[in-house]
Amino acid sequence: VAKVLPRMSSYSTLEYDLSTGKRGTRDSKVRKLLRSLSGAEDAMVVNNNAAAVFLMLKALTTSLKEDKIPEVIVSRGELVEIGGSFRIPDIMREAGVKLVEVGTTNRCRISDYEQALTENTAALLKVHPSNYEIQGFTESVSVRKMAELAHTKGLFCFHDWGSGSFYRFKQRGLSEYATAEQELAAGPDLLAFSGDKLLGGIQAGVLLGKADNIQKLRKHALYRALRLDKVTLGLLEETLEAYLDLKRLPEQVPTVGLLELTVEEIRKTVKLFLKRLKLPNKSALKCELRKTESRTGGGALPELPIESAALVLSHPEWSANDLQEWFRSQPVPIIVRVHEEQIWLDFRTILPHDSDELMSVITRLI
C-alpha cells in the first residue's frame, strides 16, 4: 500500500501509453505480469472471481441460434455456494446459459459428461469446491479429461479454480496445491481465480487463457462494467511483482509468509510474547502456550490442518464468551476463537507489527 499511495495522489498514466503518446489500456502492466507468471497466451482482470465466471459464460457461449439456449455441463458435486450467497446455478442463469447437471453428489465420471452432450452444449465447466470437501466413496473428473472431451467436440472447457497462486508452497499439505501454470497445462480454454485468498492480493478476478478467448471477453460490453479501477490495479500490480522473486515472496506478501511459518517459529514467537508479557504470579488471568491447527480458510483448502501454536487465555471472573466480546470491543478489535471455555489466539495469524497492540490489550486484563 505504501508503494502505491504516491501514485494514487498524483497524475496517473492509467490509460496513456508513454511510448506512443496515445491512448493505452489500463491493465497493460497487469496483463504482462500475469502472462509472465503463468505462461498463458493472454490474461485479464475484473473486480472479483464471480464476475470472471459470469463474463466468460456470458461472452463465450453465444454462438447458437437466437432461439436456442446454450447449455453448460457441471458435476452435481460442484454446484457450490460460497460466502455472500454466491451460487454457481444463479450465476449461470443470469449469464443466460442452461445448467445441465451430471453425476451424483459424490461421484461423477467422464461418461456422465459424454451422455449429457447435445447440439446445444456450449461448454463444460469445472468448479473447485472451495469451501467444503466430499469424502469417502467419491469420484470426480480431472480438468485434463474434461478439456480433451470438450475439444474433440469443438466445445469450450472452463475452469473456475476459486483460489490460485503462482507459488509452490513448502508447507505440508499446501505443497500439493498446484500453481496457475500447472492448472493451465491441463488444457482449459479459460482459468478463473481470485486475486486475494491464496494469492494474497486485492479482491479481483483473474482470467488466463488463449489470446482469442481473452480478446472476446475484453470486447464484450460487460467488461467495462466489471473492470478494475486504478487503485485496485495499482495494488494488484505490486502483489504480482512480488511473485517475480519467489525467494523473497514470503517477506513481501503477508498471506504467503504466514502460511509458510513452521510450528517451531510460531512456538518461539509465543514464548517470546509470554516473556514480554511478564504475567504476575498472582494474576487471575491464565496464559499458556498450546499446540493447535490453522486453516487456510474458505476459497482454498477449508479442511486442510496446518500445525501451529496458540496463546490460550482464561479468567475465573470472565466466561469465554465475555472475554471474546471484550476483545472484539477494543479500539483495534481482536477476533479470537473460543474452545473448551478458553480464548485461543493462533499466532500464525498474528502479524509482527500487531504484536505490540495485542500486548497492550492483554495487559489491560491483568
- Global pTM reads 0.91
Which domains are present in the chain? 5-252 (3.40.640.10), 261-363 (3.90.1150.180)
DSSP string over 274-318: HHHH---TT-S-EEEEEEEEEE--TTS-TT-EEEEEEEEEEBTTB
pLDDT given for residue 11 in this prediction: 73
- Spatial distance between the Cα atoms of 273 and 40, rounded to a whole number of angstroms: 45
- Spatial distance between the Cα atoms of 88 and 72, rounded to a whole number of angstroms: 11
All residues at 6 or more sequence positions from 356 whose CB lies less than 8 Å from its CB, including other chains: none
Distances (CA, A) of 115 to 147, 153, 172: 16, 13, 39
**Three-class DSSP category at 147:** helix
Query: pLDDT grade, residue 303 (50/70/90)?
Result: confident
Q: What is the mean pLDDT of the chain?
A: 92
pLDDT value at 298 more than 90: no
Question: On the CB side of 163, how many CA atoms lie within 13 Å of its CA?
Answer: 20
Which residue has better confidence, 288 or 132? 288
Query: pLDDT grade, residue 62 (50/70/90)?
Result: confident
pLDDT given for residue 266 in this prediction: 98
**Three-class DSSP category at 28:** helix
* Cα separation of the two ends of the chain: 35
Report pLDDT digits (tens) over 245-259: 999 999 999 999 999
Report pLDDT digits (tens) over 175-227: 999 999 999 999 999 999 999 999 999 999 999 999 999 999 999 999 999 99
Which residue has better confidence, 275 or 26? 275
- Report the percent of the chain where pLDDT is more than 70: 95
Distances (CA, A) of 282 to 285, 286, 311, 341: 9, 10, 19, 21
Which residue has better confidence, 300 or 101? 101
Which residue has better confidence, 261 or 280? 261
DSSP string over 64-130: S-TT---EEEEEGGG--EETTTEEHHHHHHHTT-EEEEES-SSB--HHHHHHH--TTEEEEEEE--T
